[in-house]
Amino acid sequence: MYSERSILHFNVADFAVAVERVADSSLRRRPLIIAPLQAARAVVYDMSEEAFCSGVRKGMPLFQATRRCRRAQVLPPRIGLYQRAMGDFLGRVRRFSPLVEHGLADGHLFVDVTGTHRLFGPAPDIGWRVRREVRGDLGIDPIWTLSSNKLVAKVASRLVKPVGEYIVAPGEEQEFLAPLPVFLLPGITQGERRRFREFNILRIGQLAGLNRNELLVPFGRRSGYLYDASRGVDPSRVTNGVRRDACIVQEHHFGDDTNDSRRLKEAVARLAAQVALQLRRGGQEARRLVLRLTYSDGATVQRQLSRRIGSSSDFVLRDMALLVLQRAWRRRTRIRSCHLFCDRLHRRSTQQSLLQMLPQQSKDNEAGLLEAMDAIRDRFGQEVIGTGVDGTGGDRGRAQMSAG
């Protein structure tokens, strides 16, 4: 029985950019921004290190990003390509451990290699081997860090970005964290950052100098997490599969602010189809959708809908999204953009649910239709086919071809 765990954290910095540069080596010679080109108010999906150093950040409006980095080349996101690259990356890592916790297509993963030294040697050797194989076979260069828990391994990876490795020996976790800026701790919110500044807490070691009662007053329920995290304590295990905090996000920015019902429903249905396709390509299902509407006056409204059984069906997720839209859209003010978040993900199961009420014939027909739609999208593009929307958001099973 091993008292100390060995957790490797792999991180391909700017994963989407790294994959694009493997696909086209000429992109290595200039700054790169990845953002949807067709959206009037597009925001940055990912950016290269050069663009980051020029002030470009994820989620920044594209027009602002191109002003900050005028030399940057802008490319549209290719989610399917990033997911396939992530699958290849995972395939190399799973040879060393069955316990791999990962995101969808972000280049981040944790691997528990506790007790595998008899098969593959010491944990640092595994880190070097994975990096060498991934760099040689896939052309991407992951950071790797090693620690006794996920929290410390993740903080270490933030220190060596964009390229490097770091080993924190067991028992040295608190000493390693003490001189680091407090914002490097995972999960710190903006409100907690403001509170740290108010109390002049700049380093993790200063936070670790406070006891539980002293943390309870300013931070309430979060005091327990901050107490443990500042000391390098993280009891969470590496769980096989997608991280619990993994989330798919799709967004649509209207060229002109609108309150036209048809345009809104079509936009939300299109987002649901994009989410569904991303889920199927990743072998995942989702149990919750969250829709956020941003109005022209800057106000936002957010509503959510959950289901007990996960799904990756265009039709199920479309109906859920349209129902959430009906709940969220309560103002007459024009809408500027809508964001669809999809979380509570899990692996898609091949076992049929006993609670499923659809006849087997209907399920087979829907699965066949989705498979055919995916084949058309892979060949001609995602926008060429989608699910139809009637006046009430129903019409299960109807597909429509777009003009052009």
Nearest Cα neighbor of 345 from 274, 272, 281, 283 is: 283
325, 378: one domain: yes
315, 208: one domain: no
User: Is residue 115 over pLDDT 70?
Assistant: yes
Q: Which two tokens stand for residue 236?
A: 């969470």
301, 367: one domain: yes
What is the chain's mean pLDDT, rounded?
84
Residue 3 lies in a domain: no
User: Is residue 20 over pLDDT 50?
Assistant: yes
Question: Helix or strand or coil: residue 47?
Answer: strand
Dist CA 326 CA 64 (whole Å): 32
Strand stretches in 45-202, DSSP E: 46-47, 73-75, 100-102, 108-112, 143-147, 165-167
Report the CATH number that the domain containing residue 354 is assigned in CATH. 3.30.1490.100
pLDDT band at residue 190 under the 50/70/90 scheme: confident
User: Is residue 355 over pLDDT 50?
Assistant: no
b/e map 107-140, b = 16+ CB within 10 Å: bbbbbbbbebeeeeeebeebbeebbeebeeebeb
User: Is residue 372 over pLDDT 60?
Assistant: yes
Report the CATH number that the domain containing residue 220 is assigned in CATH. 1.10.150.20
Residue-number span of the structural domain to which 190 is assigned: 174-230
Residue 165 lies in a domain: no
Dist CA 40 CA 121 (whole Å): 53
pLDDT value, residue 250: 84
Dist CA 125 CA 137 (whole Å): 18
pLDDT band at residue 375 under the 50/70/90 scheme: low
Dist CA 44 CA 11 (whole Å): 20
225, 256: one domain: no
Say if CB 93 and CB 112 are below 8 A apart.
no
By the 10 Å C-beta count (0-12 exposed, 13-18 middle, 19+ buried), 212 is classed as exposed
251, 213: one domain: no
DSSP state of 76: -
pLDDT single digits (tens) 214-242: 999 889 889 999 999 999 999 999 987 77
pLDDT band at residue 400 under the 50/70/90 scheme: very low
198, 252: one domain: no
pLDDT band at residue 395 under the 50/70/90 scheme: very low
pLDDT value, residue 390: 58
